[in-house]
Structure 1
Amino acid sequence: MRILIVEDEFEQRQLISALLKNNTEYDVEIASSAEKALNALNKHQFEIILSDWKLPGMNGLDLLQKVKEHYPNTSFILMTAYGSISHAVSSMRAGADDYLAKPFEKDQLLFTLSKVANARMLSEENQSLQNQLTARENLKSIIGKSSAMQKLFSQIDRLASTDVTVLIHGESGTGKELVAHTLFQKSERNNNVYLAVNCSAIPETLAESELFGAEKGSYTGADQLKIGKIEAANNGTLFLDEIAELPLSIQAKLLRFLQEGKIMRVGGHQEITVNVRVIAASHQSLNNLVQQGLFREDLYYRLNVITLTVPPLRQRLDDLPDLINFFIKKFSEKHRLEKISFSKDVYETLYEYHWPGNIRELANLVERLTVMHSGETISKSDLPNEFSIKEEGQIIELPEKGIHWEEYERSILEQSLTRCHGNKSKAAKLLGLNYKAFLYRLDKYNIDSI
């Protein structure tokens, strides 16, 4: 266990250090001030800080508050002068794990450290158990009996125990973040931090400081040290959602971090080593963006070590009933309403729908119907307008520049097959053609299946 001793008096510092260095359970470093202690924390991870109250400049209580703000997983023991009960009370209220009244004996020191270390172990074990329970709940949330989802589950199981960088690809609303979180929960890092960052939600001007942090005074408004998301995820997992939205300048810094495991805060002059597993996701094709010059090719290859593809809902319609039942139960409990049920014609309509919003769209639909039609059977007429299938008589306006008829016809045929998941009978019906006429046109354009 790494311990940082913060003591300004040389003899005291050396004495405590000598007492602990003889104990093989502890790896000890020393600092003569709170400022030097914070510099040490920027470079290394410590499980316990043993700090004197009286320090030059920033005192021990101020250091405790900084540590709890920026390094909340680090335990803190404050040493106070004998009889300074008020200091001890203040330190415990501020979040100290324990305190020692000076002068103290070696046995008192070792007992206090052992007590704090055991408390850390119990806390970590409890967190690990909680993470395992959460993991089970998350796995229940990833519903899928279809072959596409079974393949994905197999890949998750294989990758979870590794530290390999994973790129998750899938359309919006397919559940990419749920897959990323499941990878984390099933990994050996699951008792550490998991941070999810939506890259598309970060303003370009703030992207560097958000990810890499910033030193105090590094830019206007930086009135205190800012720990970036990468550093905050040290020893844990960082999920970068919609990574294609990162500016090219930030992509270069991210590449360096992935290659070397080091970052530098904005305005900083010292590299910081961090140990973070990165999982990235995008609904766009990064390869296409590389070809367009919108995404760095070297970063793409560094991220694309392993790619997981989350299938769209239209390619896993076998899971539709289970997904609907899951969301009905979820939203009826959330809103304390009776469960709704779907009629047969509703299911038929939902099977034929193309689901551009995927699982997120399905969840929104079920929640809306749960709230508006509690305890009722939902019929086709209750569905929103976008679920209405256009009947015959629909007029398509010819563009002014005209069209290439054969290309248009081929495209319509392919779209109908995609919309109907390769079901030729349904595709023919969608186009208002009899089955033989539809097959004739498929043969004409040498379209076998989609």
Structure 2
Amino acid sequence: MKSTIAETPKILLVDDEVAHLKTLERLFLKEGYEVLTAESGEEALAIIRREPLHLVLTDLKMGKIDGMDLLKLVKTLQPEVEVVLMTAFGTVERAVEGMKRGAYDFVSKPIKRATILKSVRQGLERQALVAENRALKARLAGLADEPNLVGQSPAFRAALDLVKQVATSSTTVLLSGESGTGKELFARMIYELSDRADAPFVAVNCAALPESILESELFGYEKGAFTGATQRKIGRFEAADGGTLFLDEIGELSPQVQVRLLRVLQEGEFERLGSNTPTQVDVRIVTATHKDLEDELEAGNFREDLYYRLNVVNIEIPPLRRRMEDVPLLAEYFLSKYRQKNNRKIDRLSRECLDALMTYHWPGNVRELENIIERAVVLDKDGSIGLDDLPEQITSYEPDTRHITIPLGTTLDEIEKLVMHETLKLTGGDKKLAAKLLDISTRTIYRKI
């Protein structure tokens, strides 16, 4: 059962004292809750089996099925539901035992209005939070097999953590990074982890469409708006209403489309081509670019006001050369994927193959690695991917071992690991020689790598 604070909370009141039960029912109905009542544990159990609930408020001492029995049944049938126990004088010890078994709280009779309302309200808040966390974990599990979401490098995990943090908000997000780093996968992750996951996800590549077509694709048009417009067409903004619109290569927008996009961000409305009637939409916008938009600002190619609207949260997706420790993980993932897809029996990637992949500079990022592994699987003849299965640009690549390029913003921990990796490549894996060149102990290299 999925629950959020935005729903009208549904609570079940259980008490064999009918007058007290009716008093509680009036109290919680007045507070705006959806209320179900039961005069016995047996009646309550029947309701618990058929009705999705948020909280159960039950008397502790009843007949055949008492409050402790109900607590156990609730936690078995609807684990996310919170239980508050009502206890009379002399049964407080049992109520405390109930909390040890999973009850959220207990209140003593005679019931005070403020006390019971506070306990139930806090129990509902906890229930909503637990349900939200479980839904989040379930959606994360569904995303776990995405190739660009495979990795353990610090740069990659930092980007992933930021995605998870902003996903549940409604703010606009700008994903920056080179082509092939998987920006659309990260956009889809933001969508999947958001409160809009049940609504549409619509993706548009702004660089793939001419300006005239892009405008009509985004905002739609009325019949007769231009030659060939024989009927009304709904644009991508309307198609994404209530959900998420992903605009890839946002740096390619023309000035005219930038103005129209700015209005949607500011006012939440636009007009279809050929119409003067505003159309209201509720869309969460995620954008991506491989360009430096600040350079585009200086060159006069991108509006400053639009830039600051889009760049509320900027998440940089690291290039593959900044997450080289993820290359073996990604290579194994793609090997498994394409040997299944092509029904090939391939046991492994050879050590020489992995060394070559770890040495290459990956200008095409993860997309290039995927294509190379797919090619190797298709062309392999002996059941093991080796150097002869890799293209020449990989096998003939000779890195400049004299210099290391370190992008600004790289953490000291990443720099340290990168220097150690590159020095080990230079020494052919000789850790003692690498330690001597770096003026550190061999033990330090073993600990860090």
- The answer to whether TM tops 0.5 is yes
Matched with 1:342 is 349
Instruction: Name the CA shift for 1:343/1:242 in 2 (closer, same or farther; >3 Å).
Output: same
Map residues 117-128 of structure 1 onto 2, 5 A cutoff. none
Q: Does 1:145 align with 2:152?
A: yes
In 1, Cα distance between equivalents of 2:383 and 2:260: 55
C-alpha contact 2:377 2:385 (8 A) present in aligned 1: no
Matched with 2:214 is 207
Matched with 1:310 is 317
What is the deviation of 1:130?
A: 12
Q: Does 1:136 align with 2:155?
A: no
C-alpha contact 2:346 2:384 (8 A) present in aligned 1: no
Find runs of 4+ consecutive structure 1 residues off by over 6 angstroms: 129-134, 416-420, 426-430
C-alpha contact 2:324 2:358 (8 A) present in aligned 1: yes
Which of 287, 297, 304 is 1:290 aligned to? 297
Matched with 1:252 is 259
**TM-score normalised to structure 2 length:** 0.59
Q: Does 1:330 align with 2:337?
A: yes
Q: Does 1:278 align with 2:289?
A: no
Instruction: Name the CA shift for 1:350/1:218 in 2 (closer, same or farther; >3 Å).
Output: same
CA deviations on 1:61-92 (whole Å, 9 max, x unpaired) are xxxxxxxxxxxxxxxxxxxxxxxxxxxxxxxx
C-alpha contact 2:346 2:385 (8 A) present in aligned 1: no
In 2, Cα distance between equivalents of 1:376 and 1:202: 43
What is the deviation of 1:391?
A: 6.6
What is the deviation of 1:413?
A: 5.5
Which of 271, 276, 299 is 1:264 aligned to? 271
Q: Does 1:224 align with 2:231?
A: yes
C-alpha contact 2:237 2:283 (8 A) present in aligned 1: yes
Matched with 1:77 is none
Q: Where does structure 1 lack aligned partners over 5 or more consecutive residues?
A: 1-128, 393-410, 440-450
Instruction: Name the CA shift for 1:150/1:135 in 2 (closer, same or farther; >3 Å).
Output: closer
Q: Does 1:166 align with 2:164?
A: no
In 1, Cα distance between equivalents of 2:398 and 2:323: 26
What is the deviation of 1:378?
A: 2.0
Map residues 56-67 of structure 1 onto 2, 5 A cutoff. none
Instruction: Name the CA shift for 1:390/1:264 in 2 (closer, same or farther; >3 Å).
Output: closer
Instruction: Name the CA shift for 1:131/1:338 in 2 (closer, same or farther; >3 Å).
Output: farther
CA deviations on 1:297-346 (whole Å, 9 max, x unpaired) are 11111100001111111111111121111111111111222235211111
What is the deviation of 1:427?
A: 8.1
Instruction: Name the CA shift for 1:414/1:247 in 2 (closer, same or farther; >3 Å).
Output: farther
In 1, Cα distance between equivalents of 2:288 and 2:380: 36
Number of residue equivalences: 289
What is the deviation of 1:249?
A: 1.1
Q: Which amino acid aligns with 2:141?
A: R
Instruction: Name the CA shift for 1:332/1:209 in 2 (closer, same or farther; >3 Å).
Output: same
What is the deviation of 1:387?
A: 0.9
- Share of identical aligned residues, percent? 40
SS at structure 2 position matched to 1:201: coil
**TM-score normalised to structure 1 length:** 0.59
C-alpha contact 1:416 1:427 (8 A) present in aligned 2: no
In 1, Cα distance between equivalents of 2:272 and 2:285: 18
Instruction: Name the CA shift for 1:130/1:374 in 2 (closer, same or farther; >3 Å).
Output: farther
Matched with 2:423 is 425
Map residues 29-108 of structure 1 onto 2, 5 A cutoff. none
Matched with 2:203 is 196
In 1, Cα distance between equivalents of 2:331 and 2:228: 48
Instruction: Name the CA shift for 1:135/1:226 in 2 (closer, same or farther; >3 Å).
Output: farther
Matched with 1:371 is 378
C-alpha contact 1:331 1:367 (8 A) present in aligned 2: yes
Matched with 2:163 is 156
In 2, Cα distance between equivalents of 1:179 and 1:417: 24
Cα RMSD over matched residues? 3.1
